[in-house]
Amino acid sequence: MTTRYADAVVCGSGVAGLAAACALGRLGLDVALLEKTPRQPLVPKGEVLQPGSLHILAEWGALSALEERRAVRLNRLVARQPDGAELLAMDFGLLGDERSWMLSHTYETILDCLGDSLPGTVRWQRGVLVNDIVNDTDGRVAGVRAAVGRSEFDVRARFVVAADGMSSRLRKLSGMTAAPVAYGHRLLAVELPGPPAAADEVSAYITGRGLVMAYPLPDDRTRCYVQVAADELRNADAARLRRWCDELVEDVPALAPLARRLQDAIGRRHLLKVWRYWAPSVVRPGIVLVGEAAHGVHPLAAQGMNTAIGDAHALAAHLSAVDTQKSVEVDRALESYEEQRVDRIRDIHVMSHRAARMMTSTSRGGRLLGKRLLSGTARSRRLRHQLTYNLSGLGMRPLSVLDRLFQLGVLPDRRAQPFPATE
């Protein structure tokens, strides 16, 4: 069996692996980036980039490529009634940051732009399945065993980055755990030609059937997600799908301008399961988990891909402070990364899950509570600003117990109006 050598092996070239390879390559490290699929599968996921990610992508040279490919600026995330009336608007413009907006593009294009920004020290190979971990005599991870077809080889490295997604083989092999919990619903994703009703926002409609989302994609397209029950469209024929589209527009009249396009596109729908989990530990000597290998959240708050980009950026910052040719120092950097990053991952998980509970409940009680929380938040400029900031990826100021009581309207928020001063 042959052995290759690198400073770092990155397993998986979804957004987390590409981001990690970008960040580590920029430290001058020789990176082997290994991906099992020969081609990027076209999946409608990971399309909204938050301001925090835009800064990182700008640093890596990937942002200008996205802008050249006509990424769309989104200024607001708005929760709406089924008829389109506003319940809560989170205005990113009020963040007062250099890049106070989100960007949308297809996952495929985001990956392409990251791939084009990879430094010359990254060797990216597709069609390579990582099968196992290679350990040193002292049990430290020292590389991976991989295969192209039947031909196996080892790649030895100072450390391994597991970016191999939710079912991460490397997570299991290195003895780390995550316990994914499936949400009770699915998301039906469909891409429509033409613009959505609101051209510069992510619209989230809170309806009796759960969450419906719409936002623009480049080249005059609309992404639409509809919450559906697990078996809602099982074995649906064309007539059933037509009726389903009619019923959807009846339930959510704000979608009326999209009705015809929805009918035409429904045959090309994707049905996606949604999960939440986070690994309490993301590091062992010689290996670190990033992206969905480490955490998964409901897509509603658009945090998964953004957290993966943040993971890569933070990891490189910790490694930049040590001599990466020395395993002991690498392990020290991985430990300090874990110490800081796991708290942020947990906060993002809690925020995304609360948002999902607030906006996807289909029970009467759950919907009433969700609307109460939304209108309580809408009444307080301070809370709106804090939530927008937390979503943006620029930082995290978790809500306190008092904030939750303000949201519920149980206590008046005396600081509701004066903050932020810029509004």
Ligand X SMILES: Cc1cc2nc3c(=O)[nH]c(=O)nc-3n(C[C@H](O)[C@H](O)[C@H](O)COP(=O)(O)OP(=O)(O)OC[C@H]3O[C@@H](n4cnc5c(N)ncnc54)[C@H](O)[C@@H]3O)c2cc1C
* One residue of 24, 33, 34, 356 binding ligand X per CB under 6 A: 34
Q: How far is the CB of 338 from ligand X (least distance, A)?
A: 17
Side-chain-side CA neighbours of residue 291 (13 Å): 25
**Shortest Å, Cβ 49 to ligand X:** 7
CB of 364 to ligand X, least distance (A): 26
- What tokens appear for 318 in the block? 């910790």
284 touches ligand X by CB under 6 A = no
The correct pick among 114, 305, 319, 355 for binding ligand X (CB under 6 A) is 305
The neighbour count for residue 29, using CB atoms within 10 Å, is 22
Distance in angstroms (rounded) separating the CA atoms of residues 24 and 81: 45
Least distance (Å) from ligand X to the CB of residue 57? 12
Handedness of CA 182, 16, 269, 358 (dihedral sign): positive
> Could you tell me which residues are beta bridge partners of residue 275?
182
Tell me the two tokens of residue 279: 């690994």
Instruction: Say if CB 258 and CB 192 are below 8 A apart.
Output: yes
Report yes or no: 18 and 57 within 8 Å, Cβ to Cβ. Answer: no
Which of 72/380 has CB closer to ligand X? 72
Please choose, from the candidates 40, 21, 45, the residue with its C-alpha nearest in 3D space to the C-alpha of residue 32: 21
Cβ 29 to ligand X, closest distance in Å?
Answer: 19
Instruction: Please tell me whether residue 190 binds ligand X under the rule CB under 6 A.
Output: no
Place of tokens 């980055």: 161
Q: How far is the CB of 74 from ligand X (least distance, A)?
A: 10
Nearer to ligand X, 143 or 304 (CB): 304
The interface region with ligand X, picked from 277-285, 305-313, 342-350, 408-416 by CB under 6 A, is: 305-313
Q: Contact with ligand X (CB under 6 A): which of 7, 35, 112, 403?
A: 35
Over the window 124 to 163, marking each residue x when it contacts ligand X by CB under 6 A and - when it does not, the resulting string is -----xx--------------------------------x
Min dist. Cβ of residue 51 to ligand X (A):
12
* Six-digit token string for 293: 């290998």
Q: How near is the Cβ of 186 to ligand X at its closest, in Å?
A: 9
The C-alpha atoms of residue 309 and residue 359 are separated, in whole angstroms, by 26
187 near ligand X, judged by CB under 6 A: yes
Contact flags string 195-234 toward ligand X, x per CB under 6 A: ----------------------------------------
| DSSP at 104 | E
Distance CA 308, CA 311 (A): 5
User: d(Cα 91, Cα 115) in Å, to the nearest integer?
Assistant: 31
Least CB distance from residue 44 to ligand X, whole Å?
6
Does 393 sit near ligand X (CB under 6 A)? no
For residue 31, what is the DSSP state?
Answer: E
Site pattern 234..273 for ligand X (x: CB under 6 A): --------------------------------------x-
Which helix (H) or strand (E) segment is 11 a member of? strand 8-11
Question: Given candidates 12, 216, 286, 376, which one binds ligand X under the rule CB under 6 A?
Answer: 12
Spatial CB neighbours of 172, under 8 Å, sequence gap ≥ 6: none
Residue with Cβ nearer ligand X (346 or 404)? 346
Spell out, one character per residue from 45 to 84, where the chain touches ligand X: x when CB under 6 A holds, - when not: xxxx------------------------------------
**Closest by alpha carbon to 194, among 214, 220, 215, 169?**
220
Least Cβ distance, residue 45 to ligand X (angstroms):
3
344 scored as a contact of ligand X (CB under 6 A): no
The SS3 call for residue 230 is coil
The answer to whether 14 contacts ligand X (rule: CB under 6 A) is yes
Helix, strand, coil shares of the chain, percent, nearest 5, are 40, 25, 35
Give 37 or 400: the residue with its C-beta nearer to ligand X.
37
Exactly one of 15, 173, 330, 359 binds ligand X (CB under 6 A); that residue is: 15
CA distances to 15, 80, 362 from 211, in Å: 26, 10, 9
> Roughly how many angstroms between the first and final C-alpha of the chain, as a whole number?
64
Q: Does 315 bind ligand X (CB under 6 A)?
A: no
- Name which of 219, 33, 36, 216 is nearest 114 in CA terms: 33
Interface size with ligand X, residues (CB under 6 A): 33
To ligand X, the closest distance from the beta carbon of 368 in angstroms equals 27
Q: Does the bond joining 420 to the residue before it have cis omega, within 30 degrees of 0?
A: yes
Question: Where do contacts with ligand X occur on this chain (CB under 6 A)?
Answer: 11-17, 34-37, 45-48, 129-130, 163-165, 169, 187, 189, 272, 291-292, 299, 302-306, 308
